[in-house]
A and B are shown apart, each in its own frame.
Chain A
Amino acid sequence: MLTSNSSSYSNRNSNCSSTSSSSGFSSSCVQVSRDVQQQLVLLRLQPDSSGLQFPEIWLRDNCQCSTCYMQQTRSRLPQGWNYLDPSVRLQQLSWCAERQSLQISWSDGHKSSFALSWLKERDFSPANRARYLRDCYRPEQRLWSGTEFQRIQREFLYDELLHNDEALLQWLHQLAVYGLALVKQAPLDSNVLRNLCNRVGFMRSTTYGDEWSVKAQPGASNYAYLAAPLPLHTDMPYFEYKPSITLLHTLQQSDSPGGWNLLSDAFHVADLLRQRYPGAFKVLSETPVDWADIGSEKNLRFHNIWRAPVINLDANGRYVRINLSIPQRDSHFSVPAEQVRPWYEAMALFMRLANEQACTFKTTPGDVLTFDNVRMVHGRTGYDDTEQNIRHIVGAFLDWDIAYSRWRVLKNDLGHYNK
């Protein structure tokens, strides 16, 4: 029997037609071994390195041969899985120096081969997993306070985003990391948002259509379509599938003193709340609120409701989403009466901090303000239209699923992965 530290397979190159000697370590020599107890395969690239580790069952599941994996669809062939036996065991293990691949025979009679480059990319070490998540899954977010706005703010030229993949990648990266990016010098025509969204993927449709116009309308059915100040909010908190990225194209800005944009990184605000008022943080992350929007658009009547806290955390306590909108918070509040007052107290604290942390600026015609609607809260100061000067903003949404997909494809195409 093999012991758990056994490296008894390290010198077996017999399955491979290679004639190279495996004595000693060289750049092409890889030492393979097994940890029988934990059912792991170990690969040592350098004698003094910690090596790569792979669970046996995972290797069997990810066999790359043509009966297990379909290259054309880049996916695992599913039939075998209906009957996958998790007790399948490794029987023989060897390293083929010529093909730089790991060769395995299994107890179910199957044989597999794995290329070193493929294995390296999927090493289970904490460092490699962290690298993959950061570089390939989603970049790490950096939270910021309103006073840091000038430092983190980045501008992109509309034409470059349409024609230069590197600029497109940088824009998406900025949006992912800081949640905010300003696009400059877009023409004042109606195709701008569609062009930008098509460069990434496609627009996210909502009850309000693909694109919507923000213009003061006295009898508006949506509160944003009024000239009154619009306090800090996220768009459409009343959707379970809230639109991810808001794009706002300024066609005409108000000449009145108002119409300023307000923006606050609500993940940063949540951090401050967590530090200074942990009780309030707990209340806002645990109390479900009824967010609602009732109205109609182009003959489609809607009654949207989504119940969720203001601060949404995943199982590890990381922020996944902020919901905030005073007009779109329902008068229905489906929580026990005794939870109501503590929620209001916490909410008032959150609003105060969000306002304190907000940065302000005023977009000019041709600007496209883009921000992460899952994370940022935005608002605007009130303004006055005149007959000659009617503030006009057009908006649209993109989803993170689509934006991250594009970010990954671009990173790969442009060779940005550090492997």
Chain B
Amino acid sequence: MLAKGLRRTAALLTSRALGRRQLSARIVDESYVEVQPAKGSGAAALKFPAVWLRDNCRCPSCFHSSSQSRQLDWNHFDPNVRPLALHMDAGKQQLHVRWSDEHESSYALDWLQRRSFDGRSQSKYLSEFYRPRTKHWAGAEFERIAQRFNYDQVMSEDEPLQQWLQALAVYGVALLNGAPPDKAVVRRLAERVGFIRRTTYGEEFIVQAKPGAKNYAYLSLPLPLHTDLPYYEYKPSVNILHCLVQTQSPGGSNLLVDAFHIADRLRQEHPADFERLTNTLVDWNDIGSEDGQEFHNIWRAPVICLDSAGEYTRINHSVPQRDSHFNVPLEQVLPWYRSYARFVQLARDDAYSFKTQPGDVLTFNNIRLLHGRTGYDDTEQNSRYIVGAYLDWDIIYSRLRVLKKRLTSSSNTSSSSSSSSSSSSSSSS
């Protein structure tokens, strides 16, 4: 779907927005370069800040192509550099600029088009290529939004892999089925994307009832809704949980909640609670040892974390891993508890419950979703066994971008009107 979208953009670019021969460019206020489309094309002019053009000169002394890196000497970069003259080469589809620092630069028009400063193209680039826009959901919508993929297909084909990662990015949850009963499944999946994110608890972890466990999750008791490892500044992003053996007892169900949806509801219905949960720093902690290595993790952050634009960046919630140290002024404590109890209640009421089966791999965004499970009883013949691992969003988004580019370029090659073939034919004419 995206591949088609990009192809359409490329086609528009060559045929309409930058229709050849009648193109022109002009300097505006000494500080912008405006590229005008052919008359009658209906496309808007593209306006580029001159200093940005100079900074992004593509010549070999300014740009190192094998590392795809800027290399111009920034220790002596003059932000007051001005364009002196422009030349539009319609045949080559290139813009040439002569600068006040005596440098000369050339830019391919399609390269410029992809970097347009127009607000709509920027937001398209950000939501289609940088990070897909998230869609929040209520528990009752789970069956509609939860996509299922076949493990073997994800492992062997790029398109299902991309769809899985895209679903994970947009909805924060996706399921794979048909995985073999093999402890190496989570590693193979993680390496299909990139690599496992290691934590204090190692790379893969096994969730199995262990009576003397040092971590609360390793008990067969009910595990109320929580996010994993809120006590890390760099919290692991995505949880991969492979069910090898499910309990035959009535318990062991998974609970999932989109905490961004809960935050949306708080924001609308209880704005004061929302405010408090975004402002009050909570001490999240984990003290213990794993494989003989002691740890004492602490991270102070609100339950609902926002960026400067007010967008959610992260949810922290874990009753066992909230420290008894609470470093806020006295008078903030009781109001915070009231707001937090509201959050927990809304989340609890919204939780969707289901039970994974052997061969299922549940993957979800640990930055955004709360998860839990109901209590269960192991028997000698039936001992619930889950293998888990984490992946980081940095690595997943990188993979998703590479896949999008690859699938786009392969569909372009197979199409007769790719932008590269039409521009090369125009330069020879």
Contacts and interface: CB of A to CB of B under 8 A. Distances in A.
Interface of A: 38-40, 53, 55-58, 61-62, 70, 72-79, 81-82, 84-86, 121-122, 124, 126, 129, 132-133, 136-137, 201-202, 205, 207, 219-223, 225-226, 228, 231, 239-241, 244, 286, 290, 294-295, 300-307, 315, 326-329, 331-337, 340-341, 344-345, 347-348, 351, 355, 399-402, 404-406, 408-409, 412-413
A53 B297 contact: no
B287 A341 contact: no
A228 B71 contact: yes
B200 A241 contact: no
B195 to A, nearest CB: 6
B62 to A, nearest CB: 11
Contacts of A336: 117, 119
A222 B67 CA distance: 5
Interface stretch (B142-150, B213-221, B414-422): B213-221
B51 interface: yes
B216 A75 contact: yes
Contact of A409 (B234, B295, B320): B295
15 contacts: A82-B348, A124-B329, A132-B327, A136-B325, A201-B200, A219-B66, A241-B237, A300-B194, A302-B398, A327-B67, A329-B70, A333-B117, A337-B48, A340-B52, A355-B75
Q: Which of B32, B225, B331, B394 has the most CB of A within 10 A?
A: B394
Contact of B77 (A126, A348, A401, A405): A348
B213 A73 contact: yes
Contact of B198 (A39, A205, A315, A405): A205
B333 A58 contact: yes
Contacts of B70: 326-327, 329, 331
Contacts of A408: 296, 298
A215 B49 CA distance: 37
B224 A351 contact: no
A87 to B, nearest CB: 8
B214 A340 contact: no
Given A40-B330, A78-B318, A327-B64, 16 more contacts: A58-B337, A73-B288, A78-B226, A201-B200, A201-B295, A231-B73, A239-B394, A295-B68, A326-B72, A327-B71, A331-B70, A334-B130, A337-B49, A341-B31, A399-B234, A401-B232
B299 interface: yes
Contacts of B130: 290, 305, 307, 334
B44 interface: no
Nearest to B327: A129
A363 B38 CA distance: 58
The range of chain B's interface size is 35 or more
B154 to A, nearest CB: 17
Contacts of B47: 337
B32 A337 contact: yes
B300 A81 contact: no
B52 A333 contact: yes
Given A61-B337, A73-B213, A55 B330 contact: yes
B401 interface: yes
B216 A70 contact: yes
Contacts of B194: 207, 300, 302
A81 B334 contact: no
Nearest to B198: A202
Given A241-B234, A303-B405, A207 B295 contact: no
A137 B392 CA distance: 25
Contact of B296 (A58, A84, A294, A405): A405
A294 B69 CA distance: 9
A410 to B, nearest CB: 9
B319 A306 contact: no
A234 B213 CA distance: 40
Contact of A304 (B234, B286, B321, B394): B394
B137 interface: no
B298 A75 contact: no
B354 interface: no
A272 to B, nearest CB: 17
A43 to B, nearest CB: 13
B334 A55 contact: yes
A124 B402 CA distance: 50
A295 B341 contact: no
A290 B308 CA distance: 16
Nearest to A342: B79
A53 B70 CA distance: 57
A376 B329 CA distance: 32
A137 B51 contact: no
Contacts of A207: 194, 395, 398
A301 B402 contact: yes
A413 B295 CA distance: 11
B294 A409 contact: yes
A69 to B, nearest CB: 9
Contacts of A294: 68
Nearest to A300: B194
Given A78-B216, A79-B224, A401-B297, A221 B67 contact: yes
Contact of A57 (B119, B237, B279, B337): B337
Interface in B180-230: 194-195, 197-198, 200, 212-216, 219, 221-226
A405 B297 contact: yes
A124 B115 CA distance: 52
Nearest to A301: B402
Contacts of A347: 79
A221 B65 CA distance: 9
A221 B49 CA distance: 29
Contacts of B385: none
A333 B195 CA distance: 29
A300 B197 CA distance: 16
A202 B197 CA distance: 12
A307 to B, nearest CB: 7
A115 to B, nearest CB: 12
B104 interface: no
A264 B48 CA distance: 33
Nearest to A400: B233
Contacts of A132: 325, 327
B297 A81 contact: no
A214 to B, nearest CB: 13
A323 B221 CA distance: 44
Contacts of A39: 334
B122 A334 contact: yes
Nearest to A302: B398
Nearest to A324: B74
A219 to B, nearest CB: 5
A334 B125 contact: yes
B43 to A, nearest CB: 17
Contacts of A406: 295
B11 interface: no
B392 A38 contact: no
Contacts of B74: 231, 326, 351
A48 to B, nearest CB: 21
Contacts of A228: 71
Contacts of B49: 337, 340-341, 344
Contacts of B237: 241
Contact of B214 (A55, A72, A124, A409): A72
A111 B383 CA distance: 36
A102 to B, nearest CB: 14
